[in-house]
Amino acid sequence: MASTLIKNGLVIDPSQNINQTADILIVDGLISAIGSLSDSVADHTIDASGLVVSPGLVDMHVHLRDPGFTYKEDILSGCEAAAAGGVTSVAAMPNTHPTTDSPEVIKYILDKAESAKARVYPVASISHDLSGENLTDFEALKNCGAIAVSDDGKPVKNAYMMQQALEKAFKANIPVISHCEDMDIIQNGIMHEGEISKKLGVSGMHRSSEDSITAREIALAQATNTAIHIAHVSTKGSTEMIHDAKLRGIKVTAETCPHYFCLTHNELLKKDADYRMNPPLREYLDTKAVLKGIADGTFDCIVTDHAPHSPEEKSDFSKAPNGIVGLETSLAVCLTELVDKNIISLEKLIELMSVNPARILGIEGGTLKIGSKADIAIIDCNKFWTVDPKRFHSKSRNSAFKGKTLKGKVIYTLLGGEIVFQHAD
Q: Which residue is nearest to ligand DOR (CB)?
A: 323
What does DSSP assign to residue 279? Answer: S
State yes or no: residue 152 binds Zn ion (CB under 5 A). Answer: yes
State yes or no: residue 95 binds ligand DOR (CB under 6 A). Answer: yes
Pairing of strands 405-415, 376-386: antiparallel
Residues that contact Zn ion, how many (by CB under 5 A): 3
Residue 78: closest CA among 375, 305, 315, 279: 305
Please check whether residue 414 is in contact with residue 376, taking contact to mean a CB–CB distance below 8 angstroms. yes
Residue 237: closest CA among 278, 190, 285, 189: 285
Residues 6 or more apart whose CB falls under 8 angstroms from that of 172 comprise: 138, 139, 142
> Rounded to an integer, what is the distance from CA 342 to the centroid of its chain?
22
Please check whether residue 298 is in contact with residue 200, taking contact to mean a CB–CB distance below 8 angstroms. no
Work out how close the CB of 320 gets to ligand DOR at its nearest, in angstroms, rounded to a whole number: 10
Work out how close the CB of 265 gets to ligand DOR at its nearest, in angstroms, rounded to a whole number: 15
Residues 6 or more apart whose CB falls under 8 angstroms from that of 101 comprise: 94, 124, 125, 127, 128, 129, 130, 136, 141
Work out how close the CB of 234 gets to Zn ion at its nearest, in angstroms, rounded to a whole number: 10
- Compute how many other C-beta atoms are within 10 angstroms of the C-beta atom of residue 106: 23
State yes or no: residue 322 binds ligand DOR (CB under 6 A). Answer: yes
Residue 209 interacts, among ligand DOR, Zn ion, none and using kind-specific CB cut-offs from 5 to 8 Å, with none
State yes or no: residue 394 binds ligand DOR (CB under 6 A). Answer: no
What is the x/- site pattern for ligand DOR, positions 123-162, by CB under 6 A?
-----------------------------xx---------
- Residues 47-76 touching ligand DOR, rule: CB under 6 A, are 63
286 is catalytic: no
In angstroms and rounded to an integer, the radius of gyration of the C-alpha atoms of the chain is 21
Cα 48 to Cα 7, 20, 376, 424: the distances in Å are 5, 13, 12, 15
Residue 322 interacts, among ligand DOR, Zn ion, none and using kind-specific CB cut-offs from 5 to 8 Å, with ligand DOR
Exactly one of 63, 117, 179, 282 binds Zn ion (CB under 5 A); that residue is 179
State yes or no: residue 189 binds ligand DOR (CB under 6 A). Answer: no
**Burial, 201: exposed, middle or buried (Cβ in 10 Å; 0-12, 13-18, 19+)?**
exposed
Decide whether 179 or 397 has the Cβ nearer to ligand DOR. 179
What is the x/- site pattern for ligand DOR, positions 271-310, by CB under 6 A?
------xx--------------------------x-x---
Residue 367 interacts, among Zn ion, ligand DOR, none and using kind-specific CB cut-offs from 5 to 8 Å, with none
What is the x/- site pattern for Zn ion, positions 211-240, by CB under 5 A?
--------------------x---------
Three-class DSSP category at 216: helix
Binding segment for ligand DOR (CB under 6 A), chosen from 28-36, 169-177, 319-327, 367-375, is 319-327
Work out how close the CB of 95 gets to ligand DOR at its nearest, in angstroms, rounded to a whole number: 5
Residues 6 or more apart whose CB falls under 8 angstroms from that of 280 comprise: 189, 190, 191, 192, 205, 234, 265, 322
Q: What angle do CA 181, 261, 273 make, to 5 degrees?
A: 65
Decide whether 220 or 400 has the Cβ nearer to ligand DOR. 400
Please check whether residue 95 is in contact with residue 65, taking contact to mean a CB–CB distance below 8 angstroms. no
Residue 234 interacts, among Zn ion, ligand DOR, none and using kind-specific CB cut-offs from 5 to 8 Å, with none
State yes or no: residue 306 binds Zn ion (CB under 5 A). Answer: no
State yes or no: residue 230 binds ligand DOR (CB under 6 A). Answer: no
Work out how close the CB of 52 gets to Zn ion at its nearest, in angstroms, rounded to a whole number: 30
- Kind and range of the H or E run holding 309: none
Of 13, 274, 305, 375, catalytic: 305
Work out how close the CB of 280 gets to ligand DOR at its nearest, in angstroms, rounded to a whole number: 8
Residues that contact ligand DOR, how many (by CB under 6 A): 12
Q: What angle do CA 244, 59, 298 make, to 5 degrees?
A: 15
Phi and psi torsions of 372, nearest 5°: -85, 160
Binding segment for Zn ion (CB under 5 A), chosen from 97-105, 150-158, 308-316, 357-365, is 150-158
| Cα distance between residue 419 and residue 222, in whole Å | 44
State yes or no: residue 34 binds ligand DOR (CB under 6 A). Answer: no
Decide whether 179 or 236 has the Cβ nearer to Zn ion. 179
Where do contacts with ligand DOR occur on this chain (CB under 6 A)? Answer: 63, 95, 152-153, 179, 277-278, 305, 307, 321-323
Where do contacts with Zn ion occur on this chain (CB under 5 A)? Answer: 152, 179, 231
Query: Which residue numbers are catalytic?
Result: 305
